[in-house]
Structures are given as structure tokens and as C-alpha cells.
Amino acid sequence: MSERAVKAIELVKWFGEGAAKTYAVKGISFEANFGEMLYIVGPSGSGKTTLLSMISGILRPNSGTVVIHGQEIWKLGNNAIADFRLNTIGFVFQDYHLFPKLTTLENVAIPLILKKQDWKKAMDTAMEFLEVVELKERASLPPLKLSGGEQQRVAIARAIVSRPDILILDEPTASLDGNTGKKILGFVKENVLNEHRCILIVTHDSRIFEYADRMIKMEDGKIVEVLSGGFDEE
Ligand SMILES: Nc1ncnc2c1ncn2[C@@H]1O[C@H](COP(=O)(O)OP(=O)(O)OP(=O)(O)O)[C@@H](O)[C@H]1O
Ligand SMILES: [Mg+2]
């Protein structure tokens, strides 16, 4: 497939005005391929979450372009961007963003319900994915009754349940022990990644570096290095 999964061109994002204006992302360009698990690493505050938010249609850049499946996403209207997020992107937020009034199972089923899938079928599929993250027995609880690591696994299940073309994970293993983190990322690489999909992962966790196909290093809002292949635990 010649089309790139993701093209980011000269992305810039600042926050604040006047003396308080600070640049979070200072002109970032990169491409991610279908079939690829691309890691983005860098110190806290280097702009990683800001970059992912612009790529996934959550945060509008001040300048620059994001092209996904040949479409410049920030040229779309608000409804079309919402559809794009629903149909193309799966996102695991650094702070999970689970819905407290819904059960764990319903949280995982949300993308399917939004896509107007039959309720019972959506719940059955969500349960399969809860089983993948080993939380089937927690299905009927609200997420706030779960531990941080359990909530993180629910967020991962919700992001992969609708089999998105572009899966974006922001620190997906931060609350997980080493074995659980490796197991879930291993599952994602084996079963979610294929030649029509691309996975972007922001992480500090060297325990999961072995799954990376390429790695982009960020510092202070810029890319400082791009590395390919053969990553072992540091
Ligand atoms: N909504 C916002 N308003 C103001 N400043 C922001 C906002 N979001 C991010 N920033 C600033 O932009 C910079 C980059 O933040 P970002 O969250 O992208 O970093 P990060 O690399 O994801 O860090 P971490 O590893 O701690 O998650 C930081 O200096 C942060 O304070
Ligand atoms: Mg972050």
C-alpha cells in the first residue's frame, strides 16, 4: 500500500497568549506506515500528548497539516472530524477518560453503540475484549471501583473494540506491572496490528520497547532522533 497511514507536516501548537505564550510542539513532521508500530518517546513536557491530540482530531494545530488516509483532517468540518474519530481512530488517553456512570462493560461497548451496532451484539463483543484484558469478572462494576491499572486496561479494550485503522496509545502501560503491560502490548501487536492498520504509542516504558518497529525521540517540542528496529529492554 503506497498511501501512508499518517503524515504530519510542520505541526505547531502553542498555548496561552502574550508573555504566557508557550510552544508545546515546534514544527514536527513525520510519517507512519500501515503495518507499523511507531513509538514516540521523550521527557515529560516535550509535547508528546499534544502531538497525539493533533493527529487524532482532538486538538486543532495552530499551523501545519495532518493527512490520514489521504485526507487532510483539519480541513474537515466538526461533524466530519467527529465521524473520522469514531470510524478511523482508537485512542487511549493518558488519564483513561472512562465514563463513571456506565459499567465497565458499557464503557468498552461505547464505540460500537456509537456506530449503531445492535446493543446485545455490542455487549457480547465488548465482553470478548474485556476477557482479553482479563477483566471479565469486573464487567458490571463502575470504573471508579477498579484499580488504576484495571481502568487502564478498560481504556485499552475500548480503544481496540471497534478495530480502528489508527490506534493511538498515550502511556498505555504506565499503571500496569511489567508482565501485564508486555502481555497486553504483545496481544495488540499480534492481533490488532496488520497491513491496514498503524499503531502510535507514546511511552516511557522500556519494558515494551521490544514491540517497536521505529522510534521517534522528542525533546522540547521537536523530533531529535528517529531510530529503526531491534529495540530491547533498556
Ligand atoms: N491545555 C494546555 N494549556 C497550556 N499548556 C499546555 C496545555 N497542554 C499542554 N501544555 C503544555 O505543553 C507542553 C507539552 O505538554 P504535553 O502534555 O504535550 O507533554 P508530554 O510530552 O505529553 O508530557 P508527559 O510525558 O508528562 O505526559 C507542556 O509544557 C505543557 O505544560
Ligand atoms: Mg503526555
**C-alpha cell read off for 178:** 511489567
Q: What is the pLDDT of residues 78-109, one digit of tens each?
A: 999 999 999 999 999 988 999 999 999 999 99
Q: Is the pLDDT of residue 112 over 60?
A: yes
Site to probe by mutation for ligand 1, drawn from 17, 21, 50 as the one with most ligand atoms within 8 Å of Cβ, is 50
**For 6-228, CATH number?**
3.40.50.300
The pLDDT, as a whole number, for residue 200 is 97
Q: Is 95 in the pocket of ligand 1 (CB under 6 A)?
A: no
Name the percent of the chain lying above pLDDT 70. 98
- Give Cα separations from 105 to 43, 160, 161 (angstroms): 34, 14, 11
Instruction: Work out the pLDDT band at 234, boundaries 50, 70, 90.
Output: low
Q: Is 53 in the pocket of ligand 1 (CB under 6 A)?
A: no
The pLDDT, as a whole number, for residue 229 is 76
Q: What is the pLDDT of residues 117-162, one digit of tens each?
A: 999 999 999 999 999 999 999 999 999 999 999 999 999 999 999 9
Q: Is 57 in the pocket of ligand 1 (CB under 6 A)?
A: no
Q: What is the pLDDT of residues 10-63, one digit of tens each?
A: 999 999 999 999 999 999 999 999 999 999 999 999 999 999 999 999 999 999
**Backbone region of residue 154 per phi and psi (left: phi > 0; alpha: psi in -120 to 50; beta: other values):** alpha
The residue whose CA is least distant from atom 28 of ligand 1 is 45
Q: Is the pLDDT of residue 2 over 60?
A: no
> What's the 3-state SS for 149-165?
HHHHHHHHHHHHCCCCC
Protein residues placing their CB within 5 Å of the ion ligand 2: 49
Q: Is the pLDDT of residue 195 over 60?
A: yes
Q: Is the pLDDT of residue 71 over 90?
A: yes
